[in-house]
């Protein structure tokens, strides 16, 4: 056997095991105004009992319950022994809350899995997303008891638990309602891993019972040769009988002692009709935004930079899905995001991931400074380039620093149109029409659109202003109205 193939399979199995031991759940929908018990299942209520019996402040629990119902808990990640999520409080940055729980050792897992394999109805209940009470009461206990849950949070509140950790506990109860395998994952093992182990145990148990039944039903062999056997052993006689009847039916071969031949599952299901794939869901009207990340010390990246990259990835995915939907599911001929040089792509990222009317936050200013330092430019150059991209994309950015000589046609007719509309006469130079005394300028692009600019009267510090358009009269009129 090829050792490289064996090591590759082992590495793939290890990756699958690690992936099986980590589950991420999107934010649960808010339930404002809901009343009554927070958990619907008895095991979800038992989880909350373990929290409430050791809480030192009922007011914090009530506040955490409100946070959970109002949807303040973001994405939840569950791994063996730990539940972690960000929880939004009264401050702009969310807090990082987590719940710790002791995992089971290998000996305890063996006892628990043997108990499940011994009673098929227990496995049936688990597959139906229900937790059998017999397993909950099994030693060791699956459900946490008083003091088993260890809450932690990055907030300054030293309550045990604080309202953020309490809100996370309440949302975990809802996850447990839907899937008790979440509890088993917290105790140390993933769902796929458990089902594979139970399959092996059930197969071993079935084989053991079959051997015991065969031994009990088979009579002992005779001590001497019987009549008609010519001194042959029973095995040899059976073999000759099987050879003498090569056309016997499968059931007859089994009766003569020949084990029946099985059929590969792939061959048995080859002709099985497959239902058609469902139609893809329509793309949402707008791309989603990333969750707000909490501040962290000693991280190898800036949370704001990661949020920018995540927002850009969502915008790219939304554009690709929208392009595929408009083309009837066929791949688009041209990518919605063509390859760009690093500088242009960085400007595109800054221009498209922050709303143009949101202003410059401290995080955005820091990104502007970092990009300017990396590109050897000033922050003013970055801000001007972002405004140019928002005005006209790649063409708007190109017109910021380059000029060209348009052929006769639209550019020449623009001056006549401005005079006919009784607007100021603009001085032509290359692809620019400028009135320096009023501080207004139009730049003609290769896409036959006019890009308005403005500056201080008599100055030469031109900034993109307003959207580009095909009508020079409308563009100048908008500039004069500012």
The predicted structure's pLDDT at residue 388: 93
Give me the residues paired with residue 100 across strands: 82, 150
The predicted structure's pLDDT at residue 284: 84
Of 310, 207, 218, nearest in space to 257 by CA: 218
CA 433 to chain centroid: 50
d(CA 58, CA 166): 10
Alpha helices in 218-264 (DSSP H): 234-244, 250-255
d(CA 83, CA 153): 12
The predicted structure's pLDDT at residue 181: 93
d(CA 364, CA 304): 8
The predicted structure's pLDDT at residue 123: 87
The predicted structure's pLDDT at residue 219: 61
The predicted structure's pLDDT at residue 182: 93
**Per-residue pLDDT tens over the stretch 32-68:** 766 667 888 999 999 999 888 878 788 888 899 999 9
The predicted structure's pLDDT at residue 296: 63
% residues pLDDT > 70 (the chain): 79
The predicted structure's pLDDT at residue 177: 92
pTM: 0.51
454: part of which helix (H) or strand (E)?
strand 450-454
The predicted structure's pLDDT at residue 223: 55
The predicted structure's pLDDT at residue 243: 46
**Per-residue pLDDT tens over the stretch 219-254:** 665 555 555 444 444 444 444 444 444 444 444 444
Q: Are 101 and 114 in contact (CB under 8 A)?
A: no
**Per-residue pLDDT tens over the stretch 152-165:** 999 888 888 899 99
The predicted structure's pLDDT at residue 242: 42
Ranges of residues in the chain whose predicted pLDDT is under 50: 228-256, 357-358
The predicted structure's pLDDT at residue 356: 53
d(CA 456, CA 463): 10
């Amino acid at each position: 056997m090829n050792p490289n193939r064996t090591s590759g399979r082992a590495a793939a199995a290890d990756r699958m095991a690690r992936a099986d031991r980590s589950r991420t759940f999107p934010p649960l929908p808010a339930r404002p105004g809901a009343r009554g018990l927070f958990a619907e299942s008895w095991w979800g209520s038992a989880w909350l009992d373990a929290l409430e019996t050791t809480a030192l402040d009922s007011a914090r629990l009530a506040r955490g319950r409100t946070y959970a119902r109002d949807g303040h808990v973001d994405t939840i990640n569950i791994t063996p022994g730990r539940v972690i999520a960000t929880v939004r409080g009264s401050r702009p940055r969310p807090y990082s809350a987590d719940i710790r729980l002791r995992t089971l050792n290998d000996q305890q897992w063996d006892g628990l899995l043997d108990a499940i394999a011994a009673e098929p109805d227990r496995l049936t209940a688990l597959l139906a997303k229900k937790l059998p009470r017999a397993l909950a009461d099994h030693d060791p206990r699956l459900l946490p008891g008083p003091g088993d849950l260890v809450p932690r949070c990055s907030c300054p509140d030293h309550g045990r638990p604080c309202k953020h950790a309490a809100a996370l506990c309440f949302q975990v109860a809802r996850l447990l309602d839907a899937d008790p395998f979440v509890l088993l994952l917290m105790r140390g093992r993933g769902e796929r891993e458990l089902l594979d182990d139970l399959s092996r145990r059930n197969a071993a148990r079935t084989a053991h019972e079959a051997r015991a039944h065969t031994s009990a039903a088979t009579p002992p062999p005779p001590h001497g040769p019987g009549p008609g056997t010519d001194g042959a052993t029973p095995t040899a006689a059976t073999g000759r009988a099987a050879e003498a009847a090569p056309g016997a039916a499968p059931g007859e071969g089994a009766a003569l002692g020949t084990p029946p031949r099985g059929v590969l599952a792939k061959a048995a299901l080859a002709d099985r009709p497959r239902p058609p794939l469902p139609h893809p869901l329509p793309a949402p009207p707008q791309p989603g935004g990333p969750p707000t990340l909490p501040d962290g010390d000693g991280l190898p990246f800036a949370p704001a930079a990661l949020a920018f990259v995540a927002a850009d990835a969502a915008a790219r995915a939304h554009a690709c899905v929208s392009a595929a939907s408009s083309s009837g599911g066929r791949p688009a001929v041209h990518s919605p995001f063509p390859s760009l040089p690093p500088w242009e792509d960085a400007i595109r990222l800054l221009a498209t991931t922050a709303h143009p009317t949101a202003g410059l936050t401290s995080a955005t200013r820091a990104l502007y400074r970092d990009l300017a330092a990396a590109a050897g430019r000033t922050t003013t150059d970055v801000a001007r380039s972002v405004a140019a991209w928002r005005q006209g994309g790649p063409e708007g950015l190109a017109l910021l620093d380059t000029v060209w000589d348009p052929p006769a046609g639209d550019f020449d007719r623009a001056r006549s149109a401005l005079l006919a509309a009784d607007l100021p006469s603009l001085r032509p130079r290359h692809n620019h029409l400028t009135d320096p005394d009023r501080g207004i300028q139009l730049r003609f692009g290769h896409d036959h659109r006019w890009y308005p600019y403005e500056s201080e009267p008599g100055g030469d510090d031109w900034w993109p202003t307003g959207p580009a358009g095909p009508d020079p009269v409308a563009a100048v009129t908008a500039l004069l109205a500012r």
